[in-house]
Amino acid sequence: MKKYESSYKKLGHDFYSEVKPEKAEGAKLFAYNEELANEIGLNFDDGIDKELILSGNQTFLHSPISLVYAGHQFGHFNPKLGDGRACVIAESNGYDIQLKGSGRTPYSRRGDGKSPIGPVVREYLLSEAMHALGVPTTRSLAAVRTEEVIMRNTVSFGGVFTRVAKSHLRIGSFQYWAAKGKVEQVKELADYAIERLYPDIKNDKDLYLSLFREVAKKQVALIPKWMSVGFIHGVMNTDNTSISGETIDYGPCAFMDEFDYYKVFSSIDRDGRYAYGSQLNIIMWNLARFADSLLPLINSDTEKAVKTLEEELKYFNDLLVMNHKREFAKKLGVLDENYSDADDELVETFLIYLQDEKLDFTNTFRALGDLLRGSEEKFVQNDRFKKFKSRWLSRVSKKDIEKFTQELNLVNPYLIPRNHLIEEAIIQVNDNKYELFYELGEALKNPFQDNKDFAKFSAPPKENEVVKMTFCGT
């Protein structure tokens, strides 16, 4: 099974530590994504027990590794972080296979390296839901429940999650070496990232500027997609910003029910730094930190390098704003040959209406198809709504209703992973019950499809079901 050894090992021991996962007591593999395993060419032939491997109770022939990185956490720089409870156990067809909750590593600091079952259930369901929603993301390969008792904000049983990613390189990976003034290591990391993730640019004249552009292009496309489905990451630290452009680290993340531009779920985001509406600004801040790390590779003249990257950041900020507008124009069905600034104003009118009336973000956008047919049942009647309805119906009046409704329903989901359902699934899996987990996982595979069997999952939470706060669980 040596074929699954990680290519990170090309970089040398300064970039990672070899580790041995800790034994997981009473491990039970309750979810395994066979389709994803086949997609990445992973198999467990030769008598290898996948439950043992995916719980960390056995390894392939090579040593797993935990990666070192730094990062800005809520704006404050920490020069040494790293995988404190995770290790890459394999690489297959260019994809990392990483265990989370597999025990202490050299980067654990005061933590125990273990995971409660909650974050395992949350990330498994949410990352697969994001994939089905068309949002670039790391994927869920497996989920294991253990009989270990884990103490966090509550007491629960433990779990081990297996994540699949194009890469676990983060902006913080580059910051770690840049902060030490180790330009050669920054270059080595950049060369590895290019070879693995962006081989098409390897012959570019301004190679490292091209790397910055590739990473920035993916991130300014990703965050508008988050926002178009009401997703709030919750911990957009630079160590949680992937070089591959995938959504990574689903700690205290959540999906909005009622639309609120200022919405925060994370218990540790006390000042709202990573609120729903702040995510556009934050990704630009994070990209600026990536630019800082690459400065010596862009130009040996620091002043010229700064000027070059400032121009790049301005360009990508403009692109980010445009991408955000276009994602929401798609949700109203107005991103066509007649798209104009007036359509952006129409989107703004609708979002203000949602905010003022505290309407469900997902269900109200989904109800636009009903509005085409004259049904206003899911809309609160007021002057702003009447103004929006008149302008929107006029704007789309020449479209075929049936075809247009189908188009709207392909961008406005019927289902999202509702927070109260995720919390209930966590409670049940902790109690060794899996029916809701499996049913919810099945429903979320087709989020744009009306399915009466899953109608119960489309309803907003009742007042006593509302989740007001989420936790990292680390």
One digit per residue, the tens of pLDDT, for the chain of length 474 reads 457 899 999 999 999 999 999 999 999 999 999 999 999 999 887 678 999 999 999 998 789 999 999 999 999 999 999 999 999 999 999 999 999 999 999 999 887 899 999 999 999 999 999 999 999 999 999 999 999 999 988 899 999 999 999 999 999 999 999 999 999 999 999 999 999 999 999 999 999 999 999 999 999 999 999 999 999 999 999 999 999 999 999 999 999 999 999 999 999 999 999 999 999 999 999 999 999 999 999 999 999 999 999 999 999 999 999 999 999 999 999 999 999 999 999 999 999 999 999 999 999 999 999 999 999 999 999 999 999 999 999 999 999 999 999 999 999 999 999 999 999 999 999 999 999 999 999 999 999 999 999 999 999 999 999 999 888 876
Asked whether residue 210 falls in the same domain as residue 313, the answer is: yes
Q: Please tell me the distance from the alpha carbon of residue 208 to that of residue 398, in angstroms, as a whole number.
A: 48
Asked whether residue 236 falls in the same domain as residue 156, the answer is: no
Asked whether residue 343 falls in the same domain as residue 255, the answer is: no
Asked whether residue 195 falls in the same domain as residue 51, the answer is: no
pLDDT at 409: 98
451 in any annotated domain: no
- E-state strands within 166-273: 231-232, 254-255
460 in any annotated domain: no
Asked whether residue 133 falls in the same domain as residue 226, the answer is: no
Give residue 287's domain range: 171-330
Asked whether residue 83 falls in the same domain as residue 111, the answer is: yes
432 in any annotated domain: no
Taking a C-beta distance cutoff of 8 angstroms, is the pair 98, 165 a contact?
yes
Active-site positions read 239
Q: Please tell me the distance from the alpha carbon of residue 401 to that of residue 124, in angstroms, as a whole number.
A: 37
Question: DSSP letters along 320-357, please?
Answer: HHHHHHHHHHHHHT--STT--HHHHHHHHHHHHHHHHH
Domain boundary among 165, 187, 208: 165
Return the SS3 of 336.
coil
Domain count, the chain: 3
In the chain, the N- to C-terminal Cα span, in Å, equals: 31
51 in any annotated domain: yes
Q: Please tell me the distance from the alpha carbon of residue 23 to that of residue 99, in angstroms, as a whole number.
A: 13
Which residues lie below 8 Å from residue 468, measured CB to CB, with a gap of 6+? 265
Taking a C-beta distance cutoff of 8 angstroms, is the pair 275, 264 a contact?
yes
Asked whether residue 159 falls in the same domain as residue 197, the answer is: no
Domain boundary among 165, 188, 204: 165
Token pair belonging to 279:
């995510």
Asked whether residue 320 falls in the same domain as residue 371, the answer is: no
Asked whether residue 35 falls in the same domain as residue 53, the answer is: yes
**Which candidate, 338, 414, 330, places its Cα nearest to that of 370?**
414
Taking a C-beta distance cutoff of 8 angstroms, is the pair 268, 252 a contact?
yes
Domain boundary among 276, 309, 330: 330
474 in any annotated domain: no
DSSP conformation class of 193: H
